[in-house]
Amino acid sequence: MAGCPTVIAHGMFTMAEAIRVVTDWVGDPAAVVDYGVRFTNPVRLTKEPTSTLIEVRGRVAAKLENRRVRVDVTATSAGDHVLGRSQAVVQLA
């Protein structure tokens, strides 16, 4: 009904999968003190949803005050950027 040629993954699922890269790196999900994204494209599921790939990369882009860093996250699926301006602020131990 929405005009999509296939089923899409929910945006909040995509957002959660993207931040997992950061929480795995820092070792504590509670260390993420801020996180925001813009949804730019949907993740289109393949006929076998378990084979749909979301490629996520994170990079420490800025050192902030009080042992905090800003991590820029990129997420792509099937060649499309699916999240834009995806950033997390992380409190380091």
pLDDT in tens, the chain (93 residues): 566 777 888 989 999 999 999 999 999 999 999 999 999 998 988 777 678 899 999 999 999 999 999 999 999 999 999 999 999 999 999
Chain Cα centroid distance, residue 40: 12
Query: Considering the entire predicted model, what is its pTM?
Result: 0.86
- Concatenate the DSSP letters of all residues of 31-71 into one string: GEEEEEEEE-S--B--SSGGG---EEEEEEEEE-STTEEEE
For the chain, the straight-line distance linking the first and the last C-alpha, in angstroms and rounded, comes to 48
